[in-house]
């Protein structure tokens, strides 16, 4: 199988602080990882595509200076929400593509519920 | 961008009944994938159907693909309460895959 571990599962923080979310592929190498944001009962909104060893590609409307993505190795990508505000409260999910094949299925982390007070 | 749109938005059925969800998309695809999401969790891949395939089965799941109509359907047979979840289709083309709003399926025991 292929397992993607996302940590933490939930986090509560004060407004103005930064929060880091980790996404790890445990038993495979992931050259590409994806970060999504999801509001209750809505779809996943793709925020950025993270490629190992290069800069992330952000979707239109996503502030790259606010949502810092680092894909330092083939098994780890991190999303840092900088200077978090209440409107950043959301469910964040990562996914990873196994292998180098384009178009193959994605494996998802279990998500991180962020609440900014 | 390539995004699937699921229909209906919500579906409520009794245990044992079949559930059919539909997906439409706009451009050509390499493949189309269906995922399931339990509340507050990540997505789980269910099935992938390639553009040259018309039907695919996996257990109680049956997926069809009609590229001429740019549509796909997911059929869950003999549904169980544990099938209650949101289901998303994801058309894939040129390294781009997006998710629609999904179908929220409720299976009543």
Nearest to A103 among B30, B43, B101 (CB): B30
Low-confidence stretches of chain A (pLDDT beneath 70)? 1, 99-103
Q: Are B75 and B18 within 8 A, CB to CB? A: yes
Q: How far apart are CA A47 and CA A41, in angstroms?
A: 18
Question: A64 in the Ramachandran plot: left (φ > 0), alpha (ψ -120 to 50) or beta?
Answer: alpha
Q: Are B101 and B5 within 8 A, CB to CB? A: yes
Pairwise CB contact (< 8 Å): B43 & A41: no
pLDDT tens-digit map of A24-51: 999 888 888 999 999 888 888 999 998 8
For residue B97, the model assigns a pLDDT of: 77
For residue A54, the model assigns a pLDDT of: 84
DSSP code, position B16: T
For residue B2, the model assigns a pLDDT of: 67
Pairwise CB contact (< 8 Å): B43 & A95: yes
pLDDT tens-digit map of B53-96: 999 999 999 999 999 999 999 999 999 999 999 999 999 877 67
Inter-chain CB pairs, A–B, below 8 Å = 48
């Amino acid at each position: 199988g292929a397992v993607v571990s996302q940590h933490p599962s939930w986090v509560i923080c004060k407004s103005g602080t930064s929060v880091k979310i980790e996404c790890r592929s445990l038993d495979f190498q992931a050259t590409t990882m994806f970060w999504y944001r999801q509001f209750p009962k809505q779809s996943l909104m793709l925020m950025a595509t993270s490629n190992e060893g290069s800069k992330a590609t952000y979707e239109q409307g996503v502030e790259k200076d606010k949502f810092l993505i680092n894909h330092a190795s083939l098994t780890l990508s991190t999303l840092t929400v900088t200077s978090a505000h209440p409107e950043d409260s959301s469910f964040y999910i990562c996914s990873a593509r196994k292998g180098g094949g384009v178009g193959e299925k994605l494996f998802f982390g279990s998500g991180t519920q962020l609440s900014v007070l | 961008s390539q995004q699937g749109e699921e229909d209906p938005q919500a579906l409520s059925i009794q245990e044992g009944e079949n559930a059919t969800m539909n997906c439409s998309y706009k451009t050509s695809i390499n493949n189309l994938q269906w995922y399931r999401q339990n509340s507050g969790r990540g997505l789980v891949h269910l099935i992938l159907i390639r553009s040259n395939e018309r039907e695919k089965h996996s257990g109680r799941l049956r997926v069809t693909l009609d590229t001429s109509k740019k549509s796909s359907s997911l059929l869950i047979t003999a549904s169980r309460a544990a099938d209650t979840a949101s289901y998303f289709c994801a058309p894939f083309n040129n390294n781009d895959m997006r998710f629609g709003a999904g179908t929220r399926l409720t299976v009543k025991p």
